[in-house]
Chains A and B, each alone.
Chain A
Amino acid sequence: MALVELQNIRLSYGNVEVLKGVSLRLESAEFAAVLGPSGCGKTSLLRIIAGFSEYTGTLRIDGQDVANLPPHRRNIGIVFQDYALFPHQTVEGNIGYGLRLRSLPRSEIRDRVGALLDLLKLNGFAARYPEHLSGGQRQRVAIARALAIEPKMLLLDEPLSALDKKLREEMQVELRQIQKTVGITTLFVTHDQEEALALADSVIVMTEGTIRQVGSPAEIYMRPADAFVAEFIGQSNLFNAVVTQMRGNDVLARLDSGESIVLKSDAPINPRSPIVFSVRPERLRIGKHGESASLENALDGKIQHVIFMGSHSQVRVATAGNRSIKVQTSDCCREGDDVTLSWNSWDTVILSSGMS
């Protein structure tokens, strides 16, 4: 099981810089997700680790620089987006392909393939050809084939994107269990934030060829490092404000629409610095207009529209300064009502500021 280190990895196609200096460290047995919008360079990163793409910078696997190691000698399992099963070989043939290349005795190949068929619940499908399998089964075969060679690490390229919603959720759980069972360092690439948050131990958020934040799913969600991460992961309301005073951890600030608010910051911020902060929609509370605010910060507004989602409603509230705020609430409210929005100072995340 491998420790993977990337240092200042760069890649350009012609004049287009796809990766602009990516540095990253994956611990042994870690399950990491590279998350970013399409075209952010995440698949290029995966291809570089697999050995299918050129790059500048340093890539080490288990301390060894692999720059001159061709893909077939890296011993890295890959599950491609289209699964890339060999159409002319059976499920058994596909899974055993890497083992046959290693000239293992026939009985050992049969045992290892059998164990993987068990692990991936593919019993009874050994003799089938890929074209006679469902999408979910094909994916299991692709995973089994990659695991068969007992690779140093596993790379997954958008592994669940070709499956329908229900199957995707099932496979998420299974993928996570398999990874824990096998204990293999795994990197998977996805544009689906739910998938990344649900599966990974650590999430690497990328955009435009750079890493914006690395952290546990909770960290990424609760403490986004910048406005891009805050907007890309879940939903956020972004506010511009100017600091008026710093009192211990409390930051007093004035919104661009004039209201005074209070936030928390571990680092001191100079008065008069402009800041951007975010508040998650589920952290906002909607109260009747004029009701004394139960939480520290309050904004008056009018309900624009309500979308009922079953377990909750998504509400848009118009406030002073032409602001439209997203709120997630389970309380009922009507369009056109005058309301007061409130939130606690620790529910805000300061995304950019003139730190002193």
Chain B
Amino acid sequence: MSVRKTQHLGMRAIGGALILVLVVPIVVLIGVSLNSGVEQVFPPRGLSLRWYENLANRSGFVEAARLTLMLAVGSALVSVLVSLCASVALTRFRFVGHDVVLTLLLSPLIVPQVVVGMGFLVTLAGLGIFNSFISLALLHCVITLPFTVRVVLSAMSGVPNSLEQAAQSLGATPLRAFFQITIPQIAPGLAAGGIFAFVTSFENFTASQFLVWDRTTLPVAIYTSVQTENDPTATALSSLIVLAVVLFIAIFNRFVAKHMFSGG
């Protein structure tokens, strides 16, 4: 009995330690952002929200946030749409190069991000394109695509061909059958893929840092600011992002996940 109990305690200790490792950095981050002084110390010396107020004066961060959101929403939409088309082709038709297409679509998942970023850098530079918006938009679509393809493809393979065929036999055109019958079945997959893509794009740093010529993204901006300044403004921004993520997950669980998995 005592051995079991010891093991039990051991497991608890390991679990607790893991949770600590996960949570402590975030707690420290938020603590530092609340400092009333200029130093980044924990526990904070005096509480204030001045670094949050300071964010408004830092037009670079606001600008980066706008670009990051645009990239995340845009690449999520494009990736989901492209994945949908690719999934229709891959599940409904058998064609020459079927497996090659699938491998290519998933390949950015395997290639290291540094390599992808470098590849984009030298290619776009070679083409004379030094516009960060265009470059990052392309990059983020490529990076998010494997995630959405995976999710949408698996949703699509779960829908038997016979459903659309039944709709067609009842008088629906192929397009109508697809939108009225198949799309409702895979809608949760489309939503999940889109969220995946949004997050992947939003947090991308490794590959994006190669392409920040005239504009920058939030993760890169935070990294740069940490290197050049040492007041807690960047920690305030990071804390805001944590807050946004927590809110998002709460809302998602409350409203979306319930419908996604209830099957009604």
Tell me whether B163 is interfacial, beta carbon within 8 Å: yes
Which residue among B160, B163, B169, B172 has the maximum number of chain A CB atoms within 10 Å of its CB? B169
In the complex, which of the residues B160, B170, B172 contacts A145, with contact meaning CB atoms closer than 8 Å?
B170
Tell me whether B174 is interfacial, beta carbon within 8 Å: yes
B interface residues (Cβ-Cβ under 8 A, vs A): 160, 162-163, 165-174, 176-177, 181, 184-185, 263-264
Q: Is the CB of B169 within 8 A of A97?
A: no
Q: Is the CB of A131 within 8 A of B167?
A: no
Given A86-B181, A88-B184, are A72 and B163 neighbors across the interface (CB < 8 Å)? Answer: no
Tell me whether A55 is interfacial, beta carbon within 8 Å: no
Given A80-B162, A84-B160, are A71 and B169 neighbors across the interface (CB < 8 Å)? Answer: yes
Tell me whether A149 is interfacial, beta carbon within 8 Å: yes
Report chain A residues within 8 Å CB of B264. 129
Q: Mark A92-112, 1 if CB is under 8 A from B, else 0.
A: 000001100110000000000
Report chain A residues within 8 Å CB of B184. 88
A71 to B173, CA, bound (A): 8
* A-B complex: 4 closest residue pairs judged by Cβ atoms: A98-B170, A84-B162, A84-B166, A80-B162
B171 CB, nearest partner CB in chain A, Å: 4
Tell me whether A321 is interfacial, beta carbon within 8 Å: no
In the complex, which of the residues A82, A85, A87, A98 contacts B171, with contact meaning CB atoms closer than 8 Å?
A98
Q: Is the CB of A72 within 8 A of B174?
A: yes
Q: Is the CB of A72 within 8 A of B168?
A: yes
A75 to B263, CA, bound (A): 31
Which residue among B165, B176, B177 has the maximum number of chain A CB atoms within 10 Å of its CB? B165
B169 CB, nearest partner CB in chain A, Å: 5
Given A84-B165, A131-B263, are A75 and B160 neighbors across the interface (CB < 8 Å)? Answer: no
Tell me whether A18 is interfacial, beta carbon within 8 Å: no
Q: Is the CB of A78 within 8 A of B167?
A: no
A-B contacts, 17 listed (Cβ < 8 Å): A70-B168, A70-B174, A72-B170, A72-B171, A72-B173, A72-B174, A81-B162, A82-B160, A86-B163, A86-B166, A86-B167, A86-B181, A88-B185, A145-B166, A146-B169, A149-B170, A149-B171
Which residues in window 44-80 of A have CB below 8 A to B?
50, 52, 70-78, 80
A138 to B169, CA, bound (A): 18
Report chain B residues within 8 Å CB of A71. 165, 168-169
A251 to B263, CA, bound (A): 69
Nearest B residue to A72 via CB reads: B168
Report chain B residues within 8 Å CB of A73. 171
In the complex, which of the residues B167, B173, B174, B263 contacts A97, with contact meaning CB atoms closer than 8 Å?
B167
Report chain A residues within 8 Å CB of B162. 80-82, 84
A80 to B163, CA, bound (A): 9
Report chain A residues within 8 Å CB of B174. 70, 72
A75 to B162, CA, bound (A): 16
A91 CB, nearest partner CB in chain B, Å: 14
Report chain A residues within 8 Å CB of B163. 84, 86
Given A84-B162, A86-B181, A87-B185, are A76 and B169 neighbors across the interface (CB < 8 Å)? Answer: yes
Q: Is the CB of A101 within 8 A of B166?
A: no
A140 CB, nearest partner CB in chain B, Å: 15
A138 CB, nearest partner CB in chain B, Å: 12
A97 to B169, CA, bound (A): 11
Told that A71-B169, A80-B165, A86-B166 touch, could you supply 20 new A-B pairs with CB distance under 8 A? A50-B169, A52-B168, A70-B168, A70-B174, A72-B169, A72-B172, A73-B171, A76-B169, A77-B169, A78-B166, A78-B169, A81-B162, A84-B160, A84-B162, A98-B170, A102-B171, A129-B264, A131-B263, A145-B166, A145-B170
In the complex, which of the residues B160, B165, B171 contacts A101, with contact meaning CB atoms closer than 8 Å?
B171
Report chain A residues within 8 Å CB of B173. 70, 72
Nearest B residue to A142 via CB reads: B166
Which residue among A75, A80, A146 has the maximum number of chain B CB atoms within 10 Å of its CB? A80
Which residues in window 291-308 of A have CB below 8 A to B?
none
Report chain B residues within 8 Å CB of A148. 170
A72 to B166, CA, bound (A): 9
Nearest B residue to A75 via CB reads: B171
Report chain B residues within 8 Å CB of A70. 168, 173-174
Report chain B residues within 8 Å CB of A146. 169-170
Nearest A residue to B165 via CB reads: A52
Report chain A residues within 8 Å CB of B166. 78, 80, 84-86, 145
A86 to B184, CA, bound (A): 10
Report chain A residues within 8 Å CB of B176. 101
A50 to B165, CA, bound (A): 9
A148 to B173, CA, bound (A): 18
A121 CB, nearest partner CB in chain B, Å: 22
